[in-house]
Structure 1
């Protein structure tokens, strides 16, 4: 301990001396101020922080590898060259203090100055955290990467400075050598090489490893790489200075020992990188939610594999330069699946362009073909056909993911395309879940049933049934007999006659809403013909259908799948029709594409008054055109215990040449919602916390009308975040933000008797407007501001209601039985009537079970393709948050919370809070002022320390 203390004191004194010399001149403060000014300029202007609208500090560190070259070269250029020029180097070489103390001390001094320069940038992440939900994990990782990268450049600069006697020469040479290591892994070099060669060069480059740490992954291989460079150049620094102590033409044993020791240290430091490159699990994911680490739901899916799972990656060595850096990231993630697969996951990679067998398999077995990409460089433009595909294969079922499924592309402020992996774990895990479901659905349904099921038929006596139902009853018995053989004891069957048991009739009327049926309006014949399937926890109804054996078998299988695990769920999607064959009505192609990744989406019209029996979920988009028969289908689906997700409001959106118009309506669907206790008012929510959007503006300039698109503060586009999102339900938890355009307030009837869960609220300063003129008005060239009117407060625009609902058609005749048909039936014989009215049985379920659920959003336009494109034009990337909202609701309704947890693990939902241009300027100028304050504080601390030292010195003199 006595030997270490002087060494520590000596190193600290040497480092302190260099720091004092740096701050001895006002140039030091100008230097730090210049560094801060360049950083702030790049952050706010170069990368347009507010225009990006993402709550991260990526612009701060994007240019840091380049800035550090000049910063570190400037800090280190005088450390040894000034000693050599002034003649004090000989004095240091002849002192009894070991030379390594000076090398380490000067390095620590320079590193301390670098840290002081980075401290000046701390107000930037603090500002971002106040303006949005900043993930601090990648921020601290980025600062650590900056310090390590700066340490490499400082070690290089000190080595160069020890060989020069001129500071300018030292600066130039240091920048050149640091730039060499920077360029090794940069796209300037890697774009000219194949994927394999480019991957090797990225392992040597300082900038390529820097980006890995800044995204929040602390990989031991990257950290050691920087440490190895620091060790190598500090050793070279000490070795070259040590050689100047030696007498010329003298080669003693000690000299040879130092020489070989230096080679061994440098060689081992570099070769350790090769050994560590084989270790892929020594890393720490510092992001919130561990988005770069396999989540627990993924591990659970892999742990329950029954068959071997094969993940094949087809990647070309030569591909598009923007896709090339993503290949090693995706490969590392896929290897994680192999590690956590417990021997049941096999991972393979192949390049079909060089492997003919892999190419044949990709084309013949999976239908994968190369995609042509245009590659431009400064010399030529060419087309490269390459592969970027991942195949998930399980039990004979497979799914292919190409680059369109895996990447997210957006353009920055300079119109440069930025390509990143979207959420690869979610995409791959969703594909695994899909092939597992497809494999299980191809086998015996009852293999995935964990609890026995009971089929219950509430049927009247055969003599009381119409003849078509008598024949249908025999078909049901035959199908059930066959299904019981396949069930191996997991399916029991029982039939009851409510007509003969008044108590049972009362029970099923109260529990299920089952009441006596009729064949038509004027018939006096009453009978029961209801069927249910369920277990101890849940009961669902099996519809009658078309009274055919194949139809009943299909309905029964669909009901069994409700209780089975591992089957692809079916969503019945109802969208409005175009007003005419030549008019372009509302389209929801993006919604269909997004939901189709995990569900079987089928568009329906409900014209027959029924929802498909195999539909697990009903989704309604802008259902203002529903007629009475279609509404009956929705109502009875809910009464059967289903879940209805709807986006509806009293307004219909139209895009015209003159701008945007809203047409008010009050259809049957809104009356149905009001009956359920959900009243969507005929008003619009206007929120000062909103998303600015490009709006077509017509201005009159010099007597001419000019049409322009301008970004305006538009309160109709409520920007919902933080308190407006319910953090206690997986539907909105971790969503981050949602833009809800032209929404209407939802008023909930507190006496409806159902459980209400609020999902989306506007801000506390929002207000309501009944004006359907939503286009901004201009006075001259100035836009009239939107001013609050009336009472302000939070407005409910998204809600979930669950419980026992009463039917809108209770005590009414079924719309499926028309008066005209009834009249015809009355005029015919009973035998003909029974044959003709097989599909028109007057049956209305009056109550729903407690499992019935309605999820309502009062903005049908938030999911329209045209509105999503407007939102995408603002962020310069595809806007997915509202699509995620509906997808989360679908996963929640279908109890698929595993994928729901992975779905939220994405950086792309972290946006800034809405703010005006004046507020943006305030935060920008506040950061400028913070830099000045920090520099003043550093100067005051330096002055205080100097005065304290003078007082101690004077005290010693006086003593």
Structure 2
């Protein structure tokens, strides 16, 4: 017997011999060429990489589990069968070296060829990285998974080859056995079983483990699974060959020892798989941003728990085939919440159809109802009502997530759907945040306030106040006394007459807050003060006066206190246009923003705001202006004074607005009523549209006549009015846009910043078009289609990057400073006596803002409306969320609540490809074919050089 120190050199010589034999015949080159050709064909044609429009290489690995079955079986079919057929196996069996050296050597030779094949495909992810923003983590994980899966199949092929002297029999048998391992976890098998059985089968299947790694999560359980398959079949291979050495069929101690050792190895491999299946923490997330791991934001919320949090998954054993594979992913994620939450998080999984009492509780208490799905069993298709819900409960508060809240669907064709979890951590953490906030809000309002608050009422003496305000002053004092009783010493109150001490306080509040004296009406000579503020050591919040009722003041005061508290859901006041007559002719309602409202409503209170009374609700934390239209002076005053109170105004506006109907696409001039107000604050919008060669496609429905049948399809047209912002076009240093992979801005206009007016403020650029963009004043925006069905746009005039989104933050001077309040102006009547004193409480003008005020401007009326969201989604064949995420990020940043901002953009379908011309797509495709051929030539050249070196060494030995 050879000593163990010689095992590695012997294995290396055997592997080298097998590799040399491979490359000495056309088999190796045929294998490599076939592998490269099939993978490239699947990538560019089978999975339609460019039409898929996602910057990843998942299509490269999509068919690997099936492809490797045939390639590994072909590669190994001759290794032992040929030895047995030619009689050289007896020579191997009579060698003094242990047989496992030969088994490992042949296995290493095959693995070398497989690794070489994978290296030939490496130019593919490199070119994708050059085209778009590629996350390399899943790429390396995919190559690792392919190598492990291929190694497992090779070990199976070697074992089968050792059992037969016929190569064809070995090929068929190895293919069948590898196919069994693949099919065990495949939907074709698991769909016939319940969820629990299906999960066990997926744990046994080689393909399902492969998918887990290629998404970017390297789990020790998956790695050990492949290593155990390799170890098992290499052990069986060695055992089969060892039996060939035995001179007798009678059982001897040597035979018994071999059988025991082999059985122990097989048993340990299986047992370790079952044991590791219970461990959740031994995994590494290699994706950029750790999108499959619990984030710090989630951990912060879990650390706030003071009571037990219940996460209960309602999953039926029979559900839709596309949803079934998502259940184990959700189970794993929920268990990670349990681990991160320690003893404060309890996770349960329930099949309501098997537990009637829990089903009744789910239906009646939580409103969870089963959804009818069409599924297939062994014999027929059937409609089955099944559950796919998660309950999040904290105290007496709860939230329910259904499949519509958790999944994202990408359509490749009418019959080919891809269903995945959209962003499960964000959805779960958002639900936890909501129940946590609701639970905290149900207690004492001051329990979550940090530090002490001071209520300052800058109110004139009763003799100078109108009678209504004298009564209201008493109401204010009464409510404040009630609040002080609840605050337990954390709220102090001061009533200050600004006119006292020679008007010293009046001058101070005018300087600090811009508070000016009020008047009962436009022509009144009596002036007074009635301003209410709430402050701590860091900020001051003005309490608005909607009317002079106790309920209104109490509501606004509580809303002000919540701004200093943590754990309360913030409120967004949304101003959106009414219906457009241009749409009414087609039975349409005009631009709607329900997608944005629903998206924001999952985390915030969104309320439609009416500015006609000249006020913004006191409950509003953010004012959101969506395509504002013809704002009158009162409405503009409401916007202005909200900003002067230190608020944030987010505006999506432009001098142009698009009307897209089933028959026409037009752009017309749009009057927002904001232009002069924005210009006063140093922000102007040019009366031109930006066109950019870096653009998103316009999906145009086209009807074709095929064999007498009318078929409708979407044709993606180059459309420079859909500006595609990514990379340098999105400010990578600001939280709003840093994690946003791409944004489509439709029919946008350039923003011009007046640097002179912005001297005292901070300007932050968020969005910019590419350097090749140009401007046009033309309103004919219909796609220009030539005879070949393509669009061609040429730059007109000067080209250059245009500013399309900006933040202006700091102290602003009111647009109405030095002017009478619009709330005091008479309407149509010229009768001066008709002016009442009803508006006295809101008739003052705050002339400047504190430093906390912000304007966030996006230069497009249309990029957030439902129609544009659906257009962007149809071009990417998935739900388009990037523009909605932009607004949500802006709100979170403005409210200094970035807890969910870091995980909001971790969804799967975010990394889109930049727009490419058809010629560019062909270039990148043919380049990869050429690179594969060059790589194959380099392999052949290296082998030739290696062969010549071996010949020279052989000749040298002969001479010596």
TM-score surpassing 0.5? yes
- Cα distance per residue 1:761-789 (max 9 Å; x no partner): 11111111111111133455565621111
- Per the alignment, residue 708 of structure 2 pairs with none
- Per the alignment, residue 790 of structure 1 pairs with 797
- Per the alignment, residue 485 of structure 1 pairs with 485
How many Å apart are 1:4 and its aligned residue? 3.6
- Is 1:6 the counterpart of 2:6 in the alignment? yes
Paired residues for 1:351-500 under 5 Å? 351-376=351-376, 379-413=379-413, 415-500=415-500
Paired residues for 1:465-864 under 5 Å? 465-500=465-500, 501-580=502-581, 584-695=589-700, 710-752=715-757, 753-778=760-785, 780=787, 785-820=792-827, 824=831, 826=833, 836-838=837-839, 841-864=842-865
**24-33 vs 339-348, which deviates more?**
24-33
How far apart are the structure 1 equivalents of 2:438 and 2:815? 38
Contact kept? 1:765, 1:794, Cα under 8 Å: yes
How far apart are the structure 2 equivalents of 1:779 and 1:255? 80
How far apart are the structure 1 equivalents of 2:862 and 2:542? 33
- Per the alignment, residue 703 of structure 1 pairs with none
Contact kept? 1:151, 1:230, Cα under 8 Å: yes
How far apart are the structure 2 equivalents of 1:317 and 1:827? 72
How many Å apart are 1:667 and its aligned residue? 3.6
- Cα distance per residue 1:679-705 (max 9 Å; x no partner): 0111111111111112368999xxxxx
Normalised to the residue count of structure 2, the TM-score between the two structures is: 0.96
What's the secondary structure of 1:691's corresponding residue?
strand
**407-416 vs 30-39, which deviates more?**
407-416
How many Å apart are 1:300 and its aligned residue? 1.2
- Cα distance per residue 1:508-563 (max 9 Å; x no partner): 11221111100111111111111111111100111122111111111111100110
- Per the alignment, residue 173 of structure 1 pairs with 173
Contact kept? 2:824, 2:839, Cα under 8 Å: no
How far apart are the structure 2 equivalents of 1:413 and 1:37? 25
Gaps of 5+ in 2: 706-710
Paired residues for 1:35-184 under 5 Å? 35-184=35-184
How far apart are the structure 2 equivalents of 1:468 and 1:781? 74
Q: Cα 1:820–1:186, aligned 2, differ >3 Å: closer, same or farther?
A: closer
Contact kept? 2:614, 2:635, Cα under 8 Å: yes
**14-23 vs 853-862, which deviates more?**
853-862
What's the secondary structure of 2:629's corresponding residue?
helix
How many Å apart are 1:751 and its aligned residue? 1.6
How far apart are the structure 2 equivalents of 1:708 and 1:925? 26
What's the secondary structure of 1:585's corresponding residue?
coil
- Per the alignment, residue 238 of structure 2 pairs with 238
How far apart are the structure 2 equivalents of 1:782 and 1:443? 64
What's the secondary structure of 2:678's corresponding residue?
helix
How far apart are the structure 1 equivalents of 2:221 and 2:151? 16
Paired residues for 1:243-282 under 5 Å? 243-282=243-282
How far apart are the structure 2 equivalents of 1:393 and 1:656? 45
Contact kept? 1:624, 1:648, Cα under 8 Å: no
Alignment RMSD? 1.9
Q: Cα 1:698–1:608, aligned 2, differ >3 Å: closer, same or farther?
A: farther
How many Å apart are 1:392 and its aligned residue? 0.8
Contact kept? 1:310, 1:347, Cα under 8 Å: yes
**95-104 vs 664-673, which deviates more?**
664-673
Contact kept? 1:183, 1:205, Cα under 8 Å: yes
How far apart are the structure 2 equivalents of 1:785 and 1:806? 46
How far apart are the structure 1 equivalents of 2:383 and 2:12? 58
How many Å apart are 1:443 and its aligned residue? 1.4
- Cα distance per residue 1:304-355 (max 9 Å; x no partner): 2122211111111111111111111101101111111121111111111000
Q: Cα 1:707–1:524, aligned 2, differ >3 Å: closer, same or farther?
A: farther
- Per the alignment, residue 933 of structure 2 pairs with 932
Contact kept? 1:817, 1:841, Cα under 8 Å: no
**546-555 vs 566-575, which deviates more?**
546-555
How far apart are the structure 2 equivalents of 1:699 and 1:662? 28
Q: Cα 1:381–1:394, aligned 2, differ >3 Å: closer, same or farther?
A: same
Q: Cα 1:95–1:482, aligned 2, differ >3 Å: closer, same or farther?
A: same
- Per the alignment, residue 916 of structure 1 pairs with 917
Runs of 4+ that moved beyond 4 A: 376-379, 580-583, 696-700, 706-709, 778-784, 820-825, 838-841
Contact kept? 2:641, 2:814, Cα under 8 Å: yes
How far apart are the structure 1 equivalents of 2:246 and 2:713? 77
How far apart are the structure 2 equivalents of 1:771 and 1:497? 58
How far apart are the structure 1 equivalents of 2:15 and 2:788? 61
How many Å apart are 1:379 and its aligned residue? 4.6
**812-821 vs 664-673, which deviates more?**
812-821
Q: Cα 1:58–1:809, aligned 2, differ >3 Å: closer, same or farther?
A: same
Q: Cα 1:781–1:178, aligned 2, differ >3 Å: closer, same or farther?
A: closer
How far apart are the structure 2 equivalents of 1:410 and 1:791? 39
How far apart are the structure 2 equivalents of 1:472 and 1:755? 39
Contact kept? 2:653, 2:672, Cα under 8 Å: no
How many Å apart are 1:249 and its aligned residue? 3.2
How far apart are the structure 2 equivalents of 1:321 and 1:613? 49
Q: Cα 1:242–1:389, aligned 2, differ >3 Å: closer, same or farther?
A: same
How many Å apart are 1:27 and its aligned residue? 3.5
What's the secondary structure of 1:511's corresponding residue?
helix
- Cα distance per residue 1:471-494 (max 9 Å; x no partner): 111111111111111111111111
What's the secondary structure of 1:860's corresponding residue?
coil
How many Å apart are 1:42 and its aligned residue? 0.3
- Per the alignment, residue 211 of structure 1 pairs with 211
How many Å apart are 1:29 and its aligned residue? 1.2
How far apart are the structure 2 equivalents of 1:414 and 1:404? 19
What's the secondary structure of 1:311's corresponding residue?
strand
Contact kept? 1:153, 1:178, Cα under 8 Å: yes
How many Å apart are 1:391 and its aligned residue? 0.9
How far apart are the structure 2 equivalents of 1:97 and 1:567? 74
- Cα distance per residue 1:42-91 (max 9 Å; x no partner): 00000000011111111011100000001110111111000011110011
What's the secondary structure of 1:383's corresponding residue?
strand
How far apart are the structure 1 equivalents of 2:185 and 2:701? 45
Contact kept? 2:547, 2:841, Cα under 8 Å: no
How far apart are the structure 1 equivalents of 2:345 and 2:9? 56
- Per the alignment, residue 957 of structure 1 pairs with 958
Contact kept? 2:376, 2:382, Cα under 8 Å: yes
Q: Cα 1:823–1:737, aligned 2, differ >3 Å: closer, same or farther?
A: same
- Per the alignment, residue 284 of structure 1 pairs with 284
Contact kept? 2:785, 2:792, Cα under 8 Å: no
How many Å apart are 1:189 and its aligned residue? 0.5
Contact kept? 1:521, 1:822, Cα under 8 Å: no
How many Å apart are 1:18 and its aligned residue? 0.4
How far apart are the structure 2 equivalents of 1:90 and 1:697? 69
How far apart are the structure 1 equivalents of 2:559 and 2:570? 10
- Cα distance per residue 1:179-202 (max 9 Å; x no partner): 011111101110100111111111
How many Å apart are 1:904 and its aligned residue? 2.5
- Cα distance per residue 1:653-708 (max 9 Å; x no partner): 111354211111344212211111110111111111111112368999xxxxx999
